[in-house]
Amino acid sequence: MFRINEVLTHEGTLFRVLSLLGEQIVWINIEDSRGLPSLVFVSELSKAFDDEMLIRADDPYAKLILATPEEGSTAQLKRDKNFRLIRDIISDPLFYDPQVRGAKIKEVASANSASKSNLYKLIRRYWQRGQTPNALLPHYKNSGGKGKKRKANGKKFGRPRTISPGVGATIDEQTERLFRIAIDKHLLTENKSDFPYAHRRFTTLYKNYFPDTSESEIPTKWQMLHFYKREYSLTEKLRKRTNKIEYNKDVRQLSSTANAKTLGPGSRYEIDATIADIYLVSDSDRGNIVGRPVIYFVKDVFSRMIAGFYVGFENPSYATAIQALTMAMTNKVQLCAEYGVKISEEDWPTVGLPDAILADRGELLGHQIESLENSFSVRIENTPPYRGDAKGIVERSFRTIQAEFKPFAPGVVGKTKIKKHGGRDYRLDARFPVQEFKEIILSSILMHNRFDVLEKYDREADMPPDLEMTPLSIWNWGIQHRTGRLRAAPEEAIRISLLPRTKATISDLGISVFGVYYTCPEIIEQGWLHRAKEVRRPVGLQAAFDPSSADKIYLFPSKDKGEYWTCSLTPRSREFAGASFWDVWQIKNQQKKTVATSRQRLNEQKRQHEEFIAKKIKAAQQRSPQLDDLSDAERIRSIRSNKENEKRIERQQRNPENSQKTNARKGKTIPFKENTLEKYDYPNLIEELFDNEDN
């Protein structure tokens, strides 16, 4: 029913069972500083159990069993010495009998020149703390009152001064308040001020309160530092001295791992972009340095497989991210073949839709990605601002992939562009063309997916020990044993669902998107391009477009259906054939600037023209003769005759009397030879200009 050394609570008091004697047990009050062993009947304790006055409790000294002092330390030596001193007393079977115990203590005290009070203190500690030698360990950790505030009593703490003048200041509550003000205002801030600066600010504050204090009696930097270490925890110091963004990203403790919230392959993709640390040259002219490319990676969190990528010079945006996402969700065999790399579907099996995509807020935030969410149930997750660590899996890939070419490739970004001591601008060393750099990135991705050993991968409990820790092996294992496998969908539907969308308007010229006109057979069949008043054209149309090609758009005639029409350029917008929408926006912007400049010049000329007209009208009114002798009817009847006179004057001006008449000579006609040309008429283009669509 009872066990030796177990702790019981009787009416709120803790007791330890020291020995079992059949109908009785020996126990001791743990909390009594003068307690000694006593006997109690088991029947009484059983009745106390029934009355709920006695319950079992946790041992407050259980941790002493695990204590392991260093070999040869003072604590170990004292423990062993004290245990040898009381061994004969505690090992006596009748240790609980006061007379037997008293005789033993007297005998041990006489033989070892020890005091009875010390022996009683040691055996009491031994019994109360668990009857183990470790119960006799000295408690040095409680010495000195570490972290506790001592009472000044008008006396300075610490060693007396021997070199510096003066006695030193006593730290009272007012001084501690000034310490705290200086520390909070000048030390625990994001500007990373040092401690001596904070103490100098404290000195200024202290002198404002106590102007008559001599310099030698001002609290020292070490006194302020002692207060700082005692009153402020490490967590508080780090949090207040670090920028909030930097603290959340780089300093705060990690509470979990990326794998803890992923169920299997395709459970979550992470996407992010970076600017490569290398300068490239043009494919067409290797003498032209084109700058540093943008790299996008789409990575599976569970397996660490890189599912898709993008290398180019467009700024990180949704329009660029969709190119990497499209690659991540579609078959990569044809893509690799375009770069001269032959693979099978099993070498890069990331084909299909993931459960979730984690991205920055600026790239996949807004209505443009809603089609992917609503049509394919792909959950879009956005990281908080300035939290690159939230996508640590994909962020780490950029450094890993670039580490494979940075030590050897020319044109790699160095520490500085400043020419110093014969140095050279690293941008001038660029030699890699864009296409070859893409091939390097593709080769690095394939090597990572198939052969990289993930030594620090946090394995799941059910993963077999012989499983290769490569992304491809983990992917294949997860497909067989875990949920979260990718969902299949038509590649064309995935591509169009990822394309950005914009508002489209319709007129008799066609479907207008960014000022470019498109048409398709479905629009012609609906009769939306006819110019009759009875035509009712829809409003609020949406169109998906590929930023890299302006040749086609995808018009959605109905918001409730997934139907789309593929529209091509009309002859009116033939200038944009083969261009990208980035070219369209640039050209349209330049055209608008040109029109604005021309309109400004037109307004200026039109204003001058109107001033000229107004001046002429004013002059005509001033030179108008007085016609009071003619009635209005007579003036109107003379219009015909006046007109005839004006015609005669105009004819005379065209044929003046002083002009010399030239003798007209008849030209010599040279006939063509027969059957030289069959027909010399201008071509008739009436049918082409006014083509009837019904013909």
Looking at per-residue confidence, does 579 or 372 come out higher?
579
pLDDT for 259: 65
Sign of CA dihedral 298, 299, 300, 305: positive
CA pair distance 121, 127, nearest whole angstrom: 10
pLDDT score of 538 more than 90: no
pLDDT for 695: 42
What is the bridge-based pairing of β-strands 501-507 and 510-513?
antiparallel
CA pair distance 236, 71, nearest whole angstrom: 36
- SS3 state of residue 15: strand
What is the bridge-based pairing of β-strands 379-382 and 24-29?
unpaired
Convert the pLDDT of each residue in 612-629 to its tens digit: 999 989 888 888 887 777
pLDDT for 686: 61
Confidence of residue 416 (pLDDT cuts 50, 70, 90): low
- Which two three-digit tokens encode residue 392? 């640590």
CA pair distance 375, 267, nearest whole angstrom: 18
Q: What percent of the chain has pLDDT over 90?
A: 13
Are 48 and 54 contacting, i.e. CB atoms less than 8 angstroms apart? yes
CA pair distance 459, 118, nearest whole angstrom: 56
pLDDT score of 563 more than 70: yes
Are 223 and 169 contacting, i.e. CB atoms less than 8 angstroms apart? yes
Convert the pLDDT of each residue in 570-611 to its tens digit: 999 999 998 888 888 889 899 999 999 999 999 999 999 999
pLDDT for 3: 87
| Least confident interval from 60-74, 449-463, 480-494 | 480-494
- SS3 state of residue 297: strand
pLDDT score of 665 more than 60: no
CA atoms lying within 13 Å on the CB side of residue 156: 14
pLDDT score of 548 more than 90: no
Considering the chain, what is the average pLDDT of its residues?
Answer: 82
CA pair distance 127, 37, nearest whole angstrom: 8
CA pair distance 291, 430, nearest whole angstrom: 9
- Which two three-digit tokens encode residue 365? 């935030």
Convert the pLDDT of each residue in 164-223 to its tens digit: 777 777 888 888 899 999 988 888 888 778 889 999 999 999 999 888 888 888 888 888
Residue labelled with tokens 């030289």: 676
CA pair distance 371, 500, nearest whole angstrom: 9
Convert the pLDDT of each residue in 265-321 to its tens digit: 888 888 888 888 888 988 888 888 888 889 898 988 888 889 999 988 888 887 788
CA pair distance 287, 284, nearest whole angstrom: 9
pLDDT for 150: 64
CA pair distance 362, 373, nearest whole angstrom: 17
User: Which pTM value belongs to this model?
Assistant: 0.61
pLDDT score of 99 more than 70: yes
